[in-house]
Amino acid sequence: MKKMKDFVVIGLGRFGKSIASQLYTMGNEVLAIDINQLETNQLEGKVSSAVTADATKYEIMHSLGVQNFDCAIVCIGEALESSLLVVEACKELNISYIIAKAKSEQHAKILKALGVDLVVSPEDFAGKKLASMLSTPGINELVELTEDYKIFEMALPDVWQDKTIR
Nearer to ligand ATP, 11 or 111 (CB): 11
Start-to-end CA span in the chain (Å): 32
Q: What is the smallest separation between the CB atom of 7 and ligand ATP, expressed in angstroms?
A: 15
Local structure of 105: helix, strand or coil: helix
Q: What is the smallest separation between the CB atom of 71 and ligand ATP, expressed in angstroms?
A: 17
Asked if 119 and 137 touch (Cβ cutoff 8 Å), the reply is no
Q: What is the smallest separation between the CB atom of 124 and ligand ATP, expressed in angstroms?
A: 13
User: Torsion angle, CA of 143/117/112/131, rounded to 10 degrees?
Assistant: 10
Asked if 37 and 103 touch (Cβ cutoff 8 Å), the reply is no
* C-alpha to C-alpha distance for 86 and 151, rounded to whole angstroms: 34
Nearer to ligand ATP, 57 or 150 (CB): 57
- Give Cβ neighbours of residue 144 (< 8 Å, ≥ 6 apart): 128, 129, 132, 150
Q: What is the smallest separation between the CB atom of 17 and ligand ATP, expressed in angstroms?
A: 8
Determine which residue in the list 50, 82, 95, 116 makes contact with ligand ATP, applying CB under 6 A. Answer: 82
Q: Does 42 bind ligand ATP (CB under 6 A)?
A: no
* Span 59-78, contacts to ligand ATP by CB under 6 A: 75-78
Residues of the shown chain interacting with ligand ATP in the complex, contacts defined by CB under 6 A? 10-16, 33-36, 39, 54-56, 75-79, 82, 103
